[in-house]
Amino acid sequence: MLTQLTRLSIEADGRYAKTEELQFLKSYFQSWEQRVSAYEKIRAAEAQIINRVETKLRTLDPNLFLNAAGDFTEVWRRDIVQVLRYAAAALLFNEHDHLREGLLLWHNTIAKSYQFDQTCKTTFEVMPEVIEQYLTPQEALLLRPILELNLIILG
């Protein structure tokens, strides 16, 4: 949304924006209440979501949080909280590009260097089903592309 507004302000400088150039605003405002609601639900349930994801991951593979340096559960928790917060902000502002370029590509480099890639892949396979338990189907539909982006880049 913010990126699109910036682009529109540059492209329409000195003229009125065309109807088709304003379409993203109409679409965004039609989903505004759902975006805010989903954002608030994720914010309120952050700790529960992280705990549930971790529990599911440990059930799938008890050694998932181990690498050559030892147990990295605390690092995973810190990083996943950050990714979840950025995902919620991306949902609120409809800013997928900012999420991808601002956090996910950087986090992908870190995950690979510390051999967290399998943990990331499994995390973002499990996370959607956990988060969607807290959202309405419409809210989950808005969040799904962001979670898929997480899986594509970090998985």
**Which domain does 19 fall in, by range?**
1-30
In this structure, the chain runs to a length of: 155
pLDDT-derived band at 61 (thresholds 50, 70, 90) equals very high
86 and 130, same domain (yes or no): yes
Domain check: are 23 and 51 in the same one?
no
Return the structure tokens found at 102.
Answer: 């601002």
pLDDT of 29-41, one tens digit each? 999 999 999 999 9
- Locus of tokens 């952050």: 46
What is the helix (H) or strand (E) element at residue 37, kind and residue range? helix 32-60
In the block, which residue shows the tokens 């913010």?
Answer: 2
Give yes or no: residues 15 and 79 share one domain.
Answer: no
pTM of the model: 0.85
Q: Do 121 and 69 share a domain, yes or no? A: yes
